[in-house]
Every structure is written in C-alpha cells, then in structure tokens.
Structure 1
C-alpha cells in the first residue's frame, strides 16, 4: 500500500501544523525527552506502544491518520504516538525509517512488530492481534 520515501531537506519555512495527525488518544512526540517520558509511562502502565513515524507532506500518512486516531479511541489499553520524521530527523534516522508511514509496535521499549506503509487492514489486524495476545496473557 501507499508509502512515501523521505523528502529532501529544505531550508524554506514549511511550518505545517500536525493537527491532522493527532486526535483521539494519539500523542504527538516533538522531542526525544517526550518520547522517553511516554515510553516510561507506557512501561509503568503495562501498555504497548504503537509509534507512527510520518510526515506532514506525505499523502499516505495523511490518508491513514484519521484511521489511526479512530484506532486509538477503540483501544485505550494501547499508547498511540506520532513522530514527524522532519521534526525529529536524527531520532527518526536512529529507527532506520526508509519510508513513511512506518509503524513500530513496542513492548517495554522493545520492538515486537513493524508495519511500513498506509495499509489500514494490516494495521488494524496487527493491533487486534496485540490486544488479543495481551488479553490472553492477563487471564
């Protein structure tokens, strides 16, 4: 499905607001510190993190964003984060992001799954699978 390759860096003023990427229970990560804080919070609360690495100029990212927000409302036991690869360039590079959107699924800060591209059915399937496996573990 759709994904975008990284956009070349441009020094022009591209102050595009990320309002379309947040909503529901999605938290916008704008600093490495806020990332660390959310991961610590998720670990403390026993939540799995879904991290959406996206870009404001990426069509597939914008297309999947409302669905991602919907999923965050349906699954409050998970923590949904969005990271703009252009705002946190070095941090995103440390995750080896080759295309946007890229979704990482993390438990206790460790990657348990990954999805590249705006594939809504696959994203939903992975989230339901994680929720089901967590529910089974808690019984």
Structure 2
C-alpha cells in the first residue's frame, strides 16, 4: 500500500498532470465552490460521494487512479470526485488530509468513512459495502 507524505511536488510537466486522475465518471474538483455544488447535487440525488484527495506528483496516487476511474464506471450510482491537494490546500487541511491518496466517503454531506493509502482491495471492499447497503429491501 503506497502513501505519500511529502508536500513538496517534484518538478513535473504540469500540462497533463490531471489526465491520470479524471476520466470515466470521475469529476476533477479544482475549487471549493465546485466541491460544494457536487456535494449538494449528490445529496439531492441521494448519491454517496467518494472523494479521492491526491497529488499529481504522488506515485501511489498515479498508480491507483486508473482503478478509481474503473470503479467510477462500474458504480454509476455513486459520485466519484478527485481533489488535488495542492490546488485546494486549505480545504484539504480542514479535512485533515495528512497523506495522499486519501479517500473520503460522504453521505448527505457528512463523512461516513475514510481510507488512507493506495489500497485497491480495501477501496473495492468499502465501495461494495456502500453499494450493497443501498439496495432497497425486497429487491434482488
């Protein structure tokens, strides 16, 4: 399981830095206003939000990003967001993000779970549990 703690980005070519993190049904969040809008939208639609707090310079973030995009396509009933901790530093600090990637799970605007690190099996397990809990009783 990979985790990045450094907040000093390497000198990367930033031109395609976000290309790894968005795609499928993943929305890249670059402003606090966009975050607030998406959480409000999810609440209205009754969707659980999975938010990936990551950094373009973080190796483990890059390695799990394609898996995260796949999950977004597999589970369209959930809302998948990616937040660049370097673009929203103050907001990330408010949520107590100490390492990247950190995945937050929100329901009705409230945090219901959290996962720190690029742990694909654990991320899948948490998402599966959320999806399973959303199935209305009496339906298969």
TM-score range, shorter chain: over 0.9
Counterpart CA distance in 2 for 1:71 and 1:133 is: 17
**Unpaired stretches in structure 1, ≥5 consecutive residues:** none
Counterpart CA distance in 2 for 1:66 and 1:110 is: 26
**Unpaired stretches in structure 2, ≥5 consecutive residues:** none
Q: Which residue of 1 aligns with 2:101?
A: 101
Counterpart CA distance in 1 for 2:137 and 2:56 is: 37
8 A Cα contact 1:102 1:117, kept in partner: yes
Aligned length: 138
CA RMSD across the alignment: 1.9
Counterpart CA distance in 2 for 1:46 and 1:126 is: 18
1:110-135: CA deviation from partner (whole Å, max 9, x where unpaired): 01110000000000000000000011
Q: Which residue of 2 aligns with 1:7?
A: 7
Counterpart CA distance in 2 for 1:9 and 1:76 is: 32
Counterpart CA distance in 1 for 2:77 and 2:64 is: 20
Counterpart CA distance in 2 for 1:112 and 1:101 is: 17
Counterpart CA distance in 1 for 2:113 and 2:137 is: 17
Deviation (angstroms), 1:15: 3.0
Q: Which residue of 1 aligns with 2:46?
A: 46
Mark the CA change 1:8 to 1:138 in structure 2 (over 3 Å): closer, same or farther: farther
Q: Which residue of 2 aligns with 1:123?
A: 123
Deviation (angstroms), 1:14: 6.2
TM-score (norm 2): 0.92
TM-score (norm 1): 0.93
